Structure 1
Amino acid sequence: MYQDSQNAATESGSGMLSLIFDKTEFRVPASGSISTSFQIKGSDSSKKKVRLSVSLELLPDDAAEWNVRLFDATGASLYDNQSSQSSSEFDIFIEGSSAKIIKMDIYAPVGAALHDKLAVRISSCLVDIPDECATVQFNAEARQSIMALKTSIGHEKDVADGIASRAKAGKSDISAILAPTNLRGYVLIEGMNTDKMREVVRGVRKAHSFVEGEMNFDEIDHYLAPKPLVSGIVEGDVVELVAGPFKGEKARVQQIDEAKEEITVELFEAMVPIPVTVRGDHVRVLEKER
Structure 2
Amino acid sequence: MGEEPESKIFAIRTVINREREVAELIEDQNDYKDLSLKAILVSPRTSGYVYAEATSEAEILRATEDVKLVKDVIEKPASREDLEKILNPRPPVADVSYGDTVEIINGEFKGERGKVANISHSEEEVTVRMKTTAVSFSTTVGMDEVKPVEGNRA
For structure 2, the residue ranges without an aligned partner over 5 or more in a row are none
Letter aligned with residue 36 of structure 2: D
Per-residue deviation, residues 164-195 of structure 1 (Å, max 9, x unmatched): 34335553322222333443543321123532
Q: Distance in 2 between matches of 1:256 and 1:174?
A: 44
Q: Distance in 1 between matches of 2:49 and 2:35?
A: 20
Matched-pair contact (CA < 8 Å) for 2:102–2:146: yes
Q: 5 Å matches for 1:59-208? A: 117=3, 142-153=5-16, 155-167=18-30, 171-208=34-71
Match of 1:289 among 139, 149, 153: 149
Matched-pair contact (CA < 8 Å) for 1:156–1:179: yes
Q: Distance in 2 between matches of 1:205 and 1:267?
A: 47
Per-residue deviation, 1:199: 1.0
Decide which structure has greater strand share. 1
Matched-pair contact (CA < 8 Å) for 1:230–1:263: no
**Within the alignment, does 1:239 sit opposite 2:101 as a pair?**
no
Aligned CA distance change for structure 1 residues 213 and 256 (closer, same or farther; 3 Å):
same
Match of 2:78 in 1: 215
Return structure 1 stretches of 4+ with deviation > 6 angstroms: none
Q: Distance in 1 between matches of 2:105 and 2:135?
A: 18
Q: Alignment length, in residue pairs?
A: 145
> Who wins on radius of gyration, i.e. which is larger?
1
Per-residue deviation, residues 113-154 of structure 1 (Å, max 9, x unmatched): xxxx2xxxxxxxxxxxxxxxxxxxxxxx52212112233455
Q: TM-score, normalised by structure 1?
A: 0.39
Q: CA RMSD in A?
A: 3.8
Match of 1:126 in 2: none
Q: Distance in 2 between matches of 1:196 and 1:238?
A: 47
For structure 1, the residue ranges without an aligned partner over 5 or more in a row are 1-57, 60-116, 118-140, 243-247
Decide which structure has greater helix share. 2
Per-residue deviation, residues 77-109 of structure 1 (Å, max 9, x unmatched): xxxxxxxxxxxxxxxxxxxxxxxxxxxxxxxxx
Per-residue deviation, 1:266: 1.3
Q: Distance in 1 between matches of 2:50 and 2:130?
A: 37
Match of 1:227 in 2: 90
Bigger relative contact order (CA 8 A; separation at least 6): 2
Matched-pair contact (CA < 8 Å) for 2:93–2:143: no
Q: Percent identity?
A: 19
Q: Distance in 1 between matches of 2:134 and 2:88?
A: 41
Letter aligned with residue 289 of structure 1: V
Q: Distance in 2 between matches of 1:286 and 1:230?
A: 8
Aligned CA distance change for structure 1 residues 150 and 240 (closer, same or farther; 3 Å):
same
